[in-house]
Structure 1
């Protein structure tokens, strides 16, 4: 009788216990992308997008593990199951949307042109004539540079990281960098950036290439997860959490129009 009672109690306890949280591997670029995400010396990731990811995961009752992936392989990693989501400043573009689903936008940032101080270059195809231009591999800025600047620029050089581009610009090996204006802002405001370079403003809009804001990337078949993420983003936006997360990083609203 005691044995049967013990078994029954264990069964009831098991039935009543809360379900284990889902665990998701969340992909970010393996290269630091401050202020959105960057690792410390121990490999712990922090930044605005990491804070947002943690808030989303809390609201969908999931455990999320930051999983760095080389940017040009991040969509294949999602599609093959190496990661479960991308929360890594990925622009929502028509080309990418053919391969994966995107959540609702959670921020938007203009693409801009940073040039060596004292040069004449501006962010138009004619204004970039003869310049050696840097762009990041796999980023929308690479596609933009190839589409709009290839016929006029002296050369377009592709880099694995934005930091490498900026250092080559500061060292005089590039004339200009076409990049995410928010991601470049820390460098632009630094002593090094102020000494070497000048921000020339946003490029001419091209939504087909640059997209419609940044969203979380998910597999096409994960419709339920997509719905949960969208609901979490909407809550974060509506209850003041978005502003609370953003305040330590930005002095303006990065959500955009």
Structure 2
């Protein structure tokens, strides 16, 4: 009986030690991870030209480029790309599987409630990817309603919420894991439109001549939205240092040399728009 108790006590103690150790590891700040020689894990999904993995597995796209440049200015070069589904980005950050989200997210209230954002890195609008020539003359969500048409958008994209808010019926909206699946549905005629940000829309049309885009100036959705890079709340000190380095970097020759190959132009600079104001929007 004593031997059993001793073994049970040791087993329980070991289990508790592992549990406590795991809890501590998960609670480590990014600065602590860096001090222990760990890499800075950049979380993103395949959403070119914002963020994507290169053929060699490296982090590509202008959001990754901005993050990597700024981290380098801060003295950090040990960066690890982590490719995942768009809908998994915030859960991965909260669970400690990635350290920074570089996917290219609009700063909106619901996301601000789940993670902290850097200062804005750009301001962008949305539009429809449609069959070439836009045969059904789609420009707004109301056009989908009036013609009883369907749309597909990636899970977690603001356009899903915007479409529902505009009155598009639930049975006319399909949610898929990512842009690849959404564009495949359009290519095969299973949907009429894919509402996404204008940069992804232009990129899709450039890569596939069966696609076109609706007029971004005529699109009625949300106003131009700012994009930021995501951090855990416990990394607020690191985020503050990141913002300090970002301030001098935004609009610089170094930045434009990095982002121009991925279709970012000076017109996308956020100007006086702020993360604080964006976090109040839906």
TM superposition score category, shorter chain reference: 0.7 to 0.9
Candidates 229, 251, 263, aligned match of 1:216: 229
Post-superposition offset of 1:133:
0.5
Post-superposition offset of 1:251:
6.7
Alpha-carbon distance in structure 1 between the residues aligned to 2:216 and 2:145: 13
Candidates 109, 115, 131, aligned match of 2:124: 109
Q: 1:251 to 1:93 in 2, by over 3 A?
A: closer
Aligned to 1:98: 113
Alpha-carbon distance in structure 2 between the residues aligned to 1:40 and 1:158: 26
Is residue 166 of structure 2 the alignment partner of residue 148 of structure 1?
yes
Structure 2 unaligned regions, length at least 5: 1-34, 272-282
Are the aligned partners of 2:61 and 2:259 in contact in 1 as well (CA < 8 Å)? no
Post-superposition offset of 1:154:
6.2
Aligned to 2:138: 121
Matched pairs, number: 231
Aligned to 1:86: 101
Alpha-carbon distance in structure 1 between the residues aligned to 2:197 and 2:160: 11
Is residue 250 of structure 2 the alignment partner of residue 237 of structure 1?
yes
Alpha-carbon distance in structure 2 between the residues aligned to 1:250 and 1:103: 21
Alpha-carbon distance in structure 1 between the residues aligned to 2:52 and 2:232: 25
Q: Report the TM-score when normalising by structure 1.
A: 0.80
Aligned to 1:59: 73
RMSD between aligned residues: 2.4
Candidates 192, 212, 215, aligned match of 1:175: 192
Aligned to 1:43: 57
Q: 1:90 to 1:108 in 2, by over 3 A?
A: same
Are the aligned partners of 1:113 and 1:177 in contact in 2 as well (CA < 8 Å)? yes
Aligned to 1:11: none
Candidates 10, 23, 39, aligned match of 2:39: 23
Are the aligned partners of 2:53 and 2:83 in contact in 1 as well (CA < 8 Å)? no
**1:200-250 deviation per Cα after TM superposition (whole angstroms, max 9, x unaligned):** 32532436xx8x411111111211111111112112115432222122232
Secondary structure at the counterpart of residue 215 of structure 2: strand
Secondary structure at the counterpart of residue 120 of structure 1: coil
Q: Identify the range of structure 1 (133-142 vs 107-116) with the bigger mean alpha-carbon deviation.
A: 107-116
Moved segments of 4+, more than 4 Å: 19-22
Are the aligned partners of 1:115 and 1:200 in contact in 2 as well (CA < 8 Å)? no
Q: 1:75 to 1:196 in 2, by over 3 A?
A: closer
Secondary structure at the counterpart of residue 214 of structure 1: strand
Alpha-carbon distance in structure 2 between the residues aligned to 1:35 and 1:26: 16
Are the aligned partners of 1:25 and 1:66 in contact in 2 as well (CA < 8 Å)? yes
Alpha-carbon distance in structure 2 between the residues aligned to 1:99 and 1:214: 15
